[in-house]
Structure 1
Amino acid sequence: MTPREIGALLAYIGRIDPRTMRTDPGEARDQIAQWHELLGDVPPATPYGWNARIAARQHIRVSPYPILPADIARPWDSYRRERIARHTDPTPLADPDDQAAWIAELAGTRRAVATGSAQPRQDRAITSGRRQVDPELEARLREVGSCIPPAARAALRPFRPARAAREAAVAQGRPDALAVRCEWCQAPVGEPCRSRRIGPDGGACGTTPRATPHPGRLDLATTQQARQPTPA
């Protein structure tokens, strides 16, 4: 806030709490200078939710003590922290090889969010409804059937035997064993079955993933598939 904006804020505060009003011109100038020194980096208002007058009015409404600059600065700091906590940094448009420009754009975005001149990017937030997807990307995914190209999937097959077996079973119309929970090893849906390793004392000392599911899990998946209605 500029000294003029500080003066306007103090005039507003004086109208609702006369204890802070200074009638002597010298005392008023000193008060404005003191508040400006402490609140010079605090804006009077932002487009997204901050208003110094509202912060002052809230303090006067709930506190029996005369307002101080700290009673404006504390809500402002909380406002900034809350906005940054909700913000996810977008990828800068600057050339990644230009480190100075990359960092400057990232810092500028954070500064705009913290000071209330831009809204936080909440990519981490849980949203309701269907997210907007690029139509070209959606069409491409429908065409290829997966975000992993077939050549890459084939190259990964030796390193993911359980997933490869699952994909082959689904492609051939056989039951997907990983679509149900294994009652033998307690493997959850989507996770491969595991074999227990027994230590010298007879207790389990670890588990290793199995390339094939336990027979009971396969039987359960077969039963579930049989219960599903056939498409008309």
Structure 2
Amino acid sequence: MDRREIAALLAYIGRLDHRTIRTDEGEARDQLAQWHELLGDMPMATPHGWDARVAARQHIRLSPYPILPADVARPWESYRRDRLGRHTDPTPSVDPDDQAAWTAELVGTRRAVATGTAQPAQYRAITSGRLDPELEARLQEVGSCIPPTARATLAPYRRARAAREAAVAQGQPDSLGVRCEWCLAPAGEPCRRRRIGPDDKARGTALRATPHPSRLDLAARQAQQVQQPAMA
């Protein structure tokens, strides 16, 4: 704030609290110089939520003590900290090899956010809202977010998943839906080859393209148990 803005702020405060009014010309000049020295680096108001008059009015409304410059400076520092705490530095638009320009743009952006002339840049959060109707209709049409052609192309590189999908498509039980009692692979993960060393500890952890027979039997038994109550 310049001296004219400080004078306007003091006049506003004087209308709300007559204790701050200085009738002597010398005292008024000293008061103006003091407030300008302490509050000259902050704006009177910003486009994004800061107003020194609001901070002064809030203090006068809640505190029985005469207002001091610190009673305006404290809310201003809190305002700055809050904005910088919510700010995530966006990637500068300058050449990253130009270190001076890169740093200058970062500093300028932070200063603009701190002084209230720009809004904090934040990462977009993941929301739990419903899907876009067009995307939902498309997923129902193709049955998966992976197109069939892409799934067929990836099948040689995802042999365990491809075998699982083929078995489910043929009406067989989902073998990976249960835990393997042989290799201890949890549900949803493919089986692994277990090679036992001389110390009776497992040495091999290579993935298998097909599940262990005991896992197939367990999946079939569980599928049968689920079907029997349904038929009853």
Under a length normalisation based on structure 1, what TM-score does the superposition of the two structures give? 0.64
Can you list the C-alpha shifts for 1:94-121, whole angstroms capped at 9, x where unaligned? Answer: 1111111111111111111111111111
Matched, 1:66 2:62: no
CA contact (8 A) 1:192 1:210 kept: no
Instruction: Quote the Cα distance in structure 2 between the aligned partners of 1:110 and 1:131.
Output: 35
Q: Quote the offset at 1:186 in angstroms.
A: 9.6
Q: Which aligned segments of 4 or more residues in structure 1 are displaced greater than 6 angstroms?
A: 183-186, 189-195
Q: Quote the offset at 1:84 in angstroms.
A: 1.2
Is there any run of 5+ residues in structure 1 with no aligned partner, and where? 133-141, 158-163, 196-207, 228-232
Instruction: Quote the Cα distance in structure 1 between the aligned partners of 2:65 and 2:190.
Output: 64
Partner of 2:7: 7
Secondary structure (helix, strand or coil) at the match of 1:122 reads coil
Q: How many residues were matched structurally?
A: 190
Instruction: Quote the Cα distance in structure 1 between the aligned partners of 2:53 and 2:81.
Output: 20
Quickly say closer, same or farther: Cα 1:22–1:193, change in 2 above 3 A.
farther
Identical residues among aligned pairs (%): 62
Q: Quote the offset at 1:71 in angstroms.
A: 0.8
Under a length normalisation based on structure 2, what TM-score does the superposition of the two structures give? 0.64
CA contact (8 A) 2:47 2:116 kept: yes
Structure of greater Rg = 2
For 1:1-232, what aligned pairs fall within 5 Å after superposition? 1-123=1-123, 125-127=125-127, 129=129, 145=146, 164-165=158-159, 167-169=161-163, 172=166, 174=168, 175=174, 177=176, 211=207, 215=215, 219=219, 223=223
CA contact (8 A) 1:44 1:52 kept: yes
Quickly say closer, same or farther: Cα 1:193–1:65, change in 2 above 3 A.
farther
Instruction: Quote the Cα distance in structure 1 between the aligned partners of 2:48 and 2:107.
Output: 19
Q: Quote the offset at 1:192 in angstroms.
A: 7.2
Instruction: Quote the Cα distance in structure 2 between the aligned partners of 1:52 and 1:44.
Output: 5
Instruction: Quote the Cα distance in structure 2 between the aligned partners of 1:25 and 1:131.
Output: 68
Is there any run of 5+ residues in structure 2 with no aligned partner, and where? 133-141, 169-173, 194-203, 228-232
Secondary structure (helix, strand or coil) at the match of 1:87 reads coil
